[in-house]
Structure 1
Amino acid sequence: MKQHALAAHQFGTSTAAYLTSAVHAQGQDLQRLGAMVQADQTCRALDLGCGAGHASFALAAAGAQVTALDLSPAMLDIVAQEAQARGLHGLQTCQGAADKLPFADASFDFLVTRFSAHHWPDVPAALREMRRVIEPGGTLVIIDVVALESPLCDTLLQTVEILRDASHVRDYRVSEWRAMLQQAGFAAPSTDDWTLTMEFASWVGRMRTPALRVQAIHDVWARAPQEAREAMRVQADGSFDLSVAWLQTRSSVDSKRAN
């Protein structure tokens, strides 16, 4: 199964879990997104890899006209249903991939992706597409799990992530994000970071991780070097801390587009 199809399948079977997940449905980052567009009632926003739609809901509730894009029809169905239930009439859904956006140039002035990019098979291509569809001077916000700069912790994180979820590609380091954004024609991003504690049972439960893979994750944690376990605050039950980053940037105001 190809990566796009694998990601759509993985999350299409977990829609309800992601709609109600506290990790995804809550957070000051959602309030911050809403505050950013609240003063601009004409804001045209695109939520890439919208998942269960929490970023889209925050933007639409603040008054933005929002397009929620995802690979999974099941995810988009639940986003549309929830938007209707919340009375968010400025939200529409669209099926598509981040690296091949079905929109004309300069269609949006605000782009966001939240907890999605680590599933994308070609982030540089997606960033080029984002650069194409954003208005010159428009704002891009990336919110995602990031790997620590330590190669040891980086390797350990990618190992447990792909054991938990076969559609995982990579949690990029902040330094990698900076380089990719600038290569795609965006300004150097401003960044904030925080940690989320992943309660092990719900973390694997949301993804319906098979028992054999759950056992393998426990074994990886048990055999990991002490310094890596301490840096990621691994607990006896397998719970651990994930680093999350907010990267905010703007597209260049000149007319030249990244190729």
Structure 2
Amino acid sequence: MKNPAAFWDKVAVKYAKSPISDMDAYTYSLERTRSYLSPEDHILEVGCGTGSTALLLAENVKQITASDLSPNMLRIGREKAEDQGVSNIKFINAELSDSKIDIGPYDAVLALNILHLLEDMPAAIERINGLLKPGGIFISKTVCALGTGTPFKYRLMKLILPLMQMIGKAPYVNFMEISELEEIISSGGFKIIETGNYPASPTSRYVVAKKIEKT
């Protein structure tokens, strides 16, 4: 897609109103994420969207830098933060490669439902590693390859995705195998310490990895 920011700007309002498809899976992975955070942490969320997860985690950390390439997504996030009286989230209009997020190093970096939308994931993992403190935590959740047990509506969506992308109605998506995803993360200087599928179908792989300290 030539202009992904424009695509996400266009769908921001609809996206903000869309319900979470599997609340139990979302809640469980959110609690697992909380277990790795501490009150003194400064964390970065890459692809924060409208800030829903950042707002739920704000009370658990000192500071959140919430970045996204869509100004409209961020506008909604700022409005929600103001309405909820949350003041420790800094929303930044930036892609992962942008120097505007170089205000770490961070104790943790979150990339939730974003890695499968990036065209160069190895470069993204290398960049994330460089933003973390030694021993810092990287937490991701990634839509992976659709298995045979995946509901029909998701398999149909995958079939029509190329056409939707051609007419600008869908973003780039890379449906990786879980093994490929985890190999890229491991090769990027991380030790994987926890994994799970939340939800199991369609598979959304939750990975917690620790930055390997160089000797």
Tell whether the structures are fold-level matches, with TM greater than 0.5.
yes
Q: 1:149 to 1:102 in 2, by over 3 A?
A: farther
Structure 2 residue 22 is matched with structure 1 residue 18 = no
3-state SS, counterpart of residue 171 of structure 1: coil
Say if 1:25 and 1:54, in contact at 8 Å, map to a contact too: no
3-state SS, counterpart of residue 36 of structure 2: helix
For structure 1, which runs of at least 5 residues remain unmatched after alignment? 197-240
In structure 2, distance between residues paired with 1:161 and 1:74: 24
Say if 1:131 and 1:184, in contact at 8 Å, map to a contact too: yes
Matches of residues 72-221 of structure 1 in structure 2 within 5 Å? 72-104=70-102, 107-148=105-146, 158-164=158-164, 165-195=169-199
Cα drift, residue 50 of structure 1:
0.8
Match of 1:230 in 2: none
Say if 1:99 and 1:122, in contact at 8 Å, map to a contact too: no
Cα drift, residue 149 of structure 1:
6.7
Of 182, 201, 210 in structure 2, the residue corresponding to residue 250 of structure 1 is 210
Amino acid at match of 2:82: Q
Structure 2 residue 30 is matched with structure 1 residue 30 = yes
In structure 2, distance between residues paired with 1:50 and 1:252: 25
Cα drift, residue 103 of structure 1:
3.6
TM-score (structure 1 length as normaliser): 0.70
Q: 1:245 to 1:188 in 2, by over 3 A?
A: same
For structure 2, which runs of at least 5 residues remain unmatched after alignment? none
Say if 1:158 and 1:171, in contact at 8 Å, map to a contact too: no
Q: Deviations over 1:225-248 (max 9, x none)?
A: xxxxxxxxxxxxxxxx52111011
In structure 2, distance between residues paired with 1:104 and 1:42: 19
Cα drift, residue 99 of structure 1:
3.7
Q: Deviations over 1:5-64 (max 9, x none)?
A: 2x2111111222222322279421233333432xx2111111101112122112213234
In structure 2, distance between residues paired with 1:101 and 1:174: 30
Say if 1:99 and 1:125, in contact at 8 Å, map to a contact too: no
Say if 1:110 and 1:138, in contact at 8 Å, map to a contact too: yes
3-state SS, counterpart of residue 65 of structure 2: strand
In structure 2, distance between residues paired with 1:163 and 1:35: 41
Q: 1:244 to 1:156 in 2, by over 3 A?
A: same
For the pair shown, the structure with the greater C-alpha radius of gyration is 1
**Mean CA deviation greater in 76-85 or 59-68:** 59-68
In structure 2, distance between residues paired with 1:16 and 1:61: 25
Q: 1:48 to 1:139 in 2, by over 3 A?
A: same
**Mean CA deviation greater in 24-33 or 84-93:** 24-33
3-state SS, counterpart of residue 107 of structure 2: strand
In structure 2, distance between residues paired with 1:147 and 1:19: 25
In structure 1, distance between residues paired with 2:20 and 2:39: 28
Match of 1:57 in 2: 55
